[in-house]
Amino acid sequence: MPASLIIVHGTPMSGHTHRVVSFLAILGLPHQLVDTPAAVRNTPEFRALNPLGQVPVVQDGDVVIADSNAILVYLARRYAAGSAWLPDEPVAAAQVQRWLSIAAGELKYGPAAARVITVWRGAGKLDDAHGIAARLLRFMDDHLASRAFLAADHPTIADLACYAYVAHAPEGRISLDGYPHLRAWLARVEAVPGFRPMQRTQIPESEG
């Protein structure tokens, strides 16, 4: 158990924050989410925690870790060492890393970007995000046709890293209807004991 309450600086509607908070809940670790909107992320106090001004950031006693995937690795190694969440076996570990890279790449620039553009009028081209998302979701659906989870036959941090922005893809006007294996995987992740869902956002009405 942690020496003190683990503090998570993030925002409730962030999939990056969600993957961290959900893993903390699954591990049964006491934690507190401190809402950290953009204005706070530009303050000197927050920049001292993460000079890039990004969330989430975790404070675990004297330890400060930024980047959601790095935080997942830290938590798995510190509080779930030897568990299946982050395997030690080289091939299994590589499979987890592959999906962490996808979470930081195609998932970020596909479903996650489409959600930001649609819900918060963020920068970017929705068509480009939809194109990336279509290729990714088809790949994931095919991958999950013969397995229960992304990197192993059990849940790993790879599943938590990829869950939120896939589950909330419809908020970026991306339908999941054509991906039955992907939807079944979402349900399996949601069934993990301790898992916490992320609140859904309202999709703005189309303009024009």
Domains parsed from the chain with CATH numbers: 6-79 (3.40.30.10), 90-190 (1.20.1050.10)
Euclidean distance between CA atoms 182 and 32, whole angstroms: 31
Q: What is the pLDDT of residues 100-122, one digit of tens each?
A: 999 999 999 999 999 999 998 88
Taking only the tens place, the pLDDT of each residue in 128-181 is 999 999 999 999 999 999 999 999 999 999 999 999 999 999 999 999 999 999
Type of residue numbered 152: A
The Cα–Cα gap between 65 and 39 comes to 20
Given a contact cutoff of 8 angstroms between Cβ atoms, the answer to whether 16 and 56 are in contact is yes
For 74-106, give the DSSP string.
HHHHHHSTTSTTS--SHHHHHHHHHHHHHHHTH
Given the structure tokens 């479903």, which residue do they identify? Answer: 111
Distances (CA, A) of 95 to 13, 109, 152: 28, 21, 8
Q: Would the pLDDT of 207 be above 80? A: no
- What pLDDT does 59 receive? 97
At 47, is the secondary structure helix, strand, or coil?
Answer: helix
pLDDT attached to residue 106: 98
**What is the rounded distance in angstroms from the CA atom of residue 103 to the CA atom of residue 162?**
6
On whether the CB atoms of residues 31 and 5 are closer than 8 A, the answer is yes
- For the chain, the average pLDDT equals 94
Whole-prediction pTM value? Answer: 0.94
